[in-house]
Amino acid sequence: MKYPNGIKQQNSNNNHINYDNRGMTLEKDLNDTNQYYIDTGKAYIYKKPTPIQITKVDYPSRSHAVIKEAFFKEPSTTDYNGLYKGKYIDFEAKETNSKTSFPLDNIHKHQIKHLENVYNNDGIGFIIVRFNKLNKTYILMAKDLLSFLKENERKSIPLKYFEDYAYLIEEKYIPRLDYLKIIDELLGGA
């Protein structure tokens, strides 16, 4: 069907989410949600910079440096952290197209160690995993992630483990992914 004035047809079924920008979807939803938390004064959670190893820098002028060669470093921490009611919050967010399990090569060894440090120091650490094809987004607390890794040699976490031990995040219009609602419940009520 053609539309006037070059307007392209949007997905006409409003129940379906458009996954054209799949890789960015979860990150965008989380950034929007975190901005909502900041704007409403609920929490202050933000994305950390990507770790880079710089190998060559030019100084074309006194005040300006141009990085001429650098590499992405293996991350030693997670993507997001911040604070909620004075508590330290820390998490990594990942998407998978698998319908049956979450491949563990998505998370680096140092990131696991980081979440273990957070857990051991009484912080609130977790991973957020979106199963794109199932349209489900879970929070798996560091404690349950670590106990899975301790007891299993598997290279992926089965969906069943998420169904049993993780918490489904309700997707809404605003905020998009209200993950702190689940943290509230785990902390014993808002």
Cα 10 to Cα 92: distance, rounded to the nearest angstrom = 32
By CB under 8 A, is residue 43 in contact with its own copies? yes
By CB under 8 A, is residue 36 in contact with its own copies? no
Nearest CA-CA partner of 80 in 177, 165, 163? 177
Q: Determine how β-strand 124-131 pairs with β-strand 87-96.
A: parallel
Q: Least distance in Å: CB of 117 to its own copies?
A: 4
Q: Which is nearer to its own copies, 87 or 99 (CB)?
A: 87
Exposed / middle / buried, residue 23 (Cβ in 10 Å: 0-12, 13-18, 19+): exposed
Task: Locate 176 and state its tokens.
Answer: 């998009």
Q: Rule CB under 8 A: which of 106-165 touch its own copies?
A: 117-118, 120-123
Cα 70 to Cα 73: distance, rounded to the nearest angstrom = 9
By CB under 8 A, is residue 65 in contact with its own copies? yes
**Of the listed pieces 77-85, 130-138, 153-161, 165-173, which binds its own copies according to CB under 8 A?**
77-85
Q: Which residues bind its own copies (CB under 8 A)?
A: 38, 41, 43-44, 46, 48-52, 54, 64-73, 76-77, 81-89, 117-118, 120-123
